Structure 1
Amino acid sequence: MLFFKSSKQIKEQKKLMNNHIETIIIQSGWADVNIYTHKENYISLFLTSIENGPYWIVEENQDQLRLTIEPGIRRLHFRFNQTIKLDVYVPEQNNINWEVEADSGSVYFYKQVVQNIMLRVGSGNFKGNDLTVNNAFVEVGTGEVNINHFNGENLQLVGGSGDIKLVDVTCNRIMSKIGSGSLRYNHVRYKEMISEGGSGDVFLENFQGDTKMKVGSGDIEVVLDERPNLKCELQAGSGTIITDTGHISDGKIHKDYGEAKYVLALTSRSGDVVVKQKF
């Protein structure tokens, strides 16, 4: 068995006084990326790394900032036992477009009011908290997606084997597609939501808007409010449809609640479709 001695940790810091940055592009590799706001009128960058380990390249060009984390000499073993991270602090009042790409590092956005976010993560996780975004696109391979307190126009999520969880989200349109992970939504408001899953389950409660959900072998469970206004279209291939009126195995039913203001269309190829109502 091989043992590797921990290297000395190093920290670097840069301050950028350019107030005209409109786009920030980050390629972080294995490093974690954390995006924060502060009350200052400049951008602060902090890199936590190790000797001979990952280092950064900072390129500033008028209205664009590009941050690249290169692996360094000790690229094989540092990621297993030492923290490598990039912390970025931007002014509270900003109108930045973000493009972030990470291989195995995780990405965290906190308290941002921005134009657009385009994010691609390999095996790391994404967490967003208290975000106001015009358009957001998040693609994660094997990691998880957790978004809390989100306001925006368009939210598009693509996942692989990790789970996607949305809590307290208000958006014009939500689109999500996932492989074997599960989808969980709670307190979500939208005009339209389209979700597509593979073998994972889908859970939805405290929602408002036109909803279309389709899964392969997973189950779909939806909890309705006490006074729902929905037109439900429920379909299950080899699975069972379960509502407050009992179990139905014929594969397809239509059911209206209240004034049927919104559409709820649920389809599972081989899993169950469950619709419950709060009382």
Structure 2
Amino acid sequence: MKRLLGVLLVLALAFSLAAGGNVEASPDIIGRLLGSLDIPGKVTGGLAVSGNLALVATSSGVLAIDVSDPESPSIAGSAGAGGGACNVEVKDSNLAYALSEWSFHTVDISNPGAIHSPGSVRVGGFVAGGYPAPFPYFGLSGDYAFILVDRLYYNQLSLLSVIDTTDPTNPNIISSRELQDVYGRGEVEVASSVAFVVSDGIHIFDVADPTNPVRLTSIGAMGEALGIEIHNNLAHIISKVDDTISLVTYDVSEPGIPVFLGAKEVGSAQE
């Protein structure tokens, strides 16, 4: 049994979302551990929250934790995910998605005490960033999931794969865009029919037609891109050059012509 060191984050997220996602921090909340529990197996990846349910990726699959009482969280159920999950995302109150090293799984969370995976699909390679590497973030847009598949193990190409989950019992890959020069952490962020793929830089794709992603441009020369968030047509990128971590911002209101706005050092990789 391993104690989930990030349970405070789980509870904070659940508390925030349960209260409408707009909780004002106060001295009574900041820095106070609300509750904890032991997690069976090993926490291998990310977490996601749906109402009072926190989903955690573990070496056994997806674990559902009831956080309706923040001071006494409890395990509600679990679902297998091809031997272990390396990340999990929530679509809505009924459906979540999980990635294992080699496959994509839909997870029915409508009954927290009996969550299960009604369908899965092999992704044709190794999920980029999969455990034990930094866990992959995958993009969601409607009924579509966007993931980066690393095929270097086959001396072939990386793929931007799009999975249609309209039928959760039968998710299927509707397109796989070959990427000869994209590799790395495996994060995909989708905003307004545009996919941002994180690797050595940021690679931008028009995915208005999910069956035919079109590469628009790339943002490079920033060292190693570690993550990205898109908000109000701004791309906020965490990058690492040598041991320096910086926040880099681009205007992506015209995705094919990103405009550099500035960069600020925020820390050291050794800290």
TM interval, short-chain normalised: under 0.3
Structure with higher strand content = 1
Say which structure is richer in helix. 2
TM-score by length of 1: 0.25
Q: Pick the structure with greater CA Rg.
A: 1
TM value normalised by structure 2: 0.25
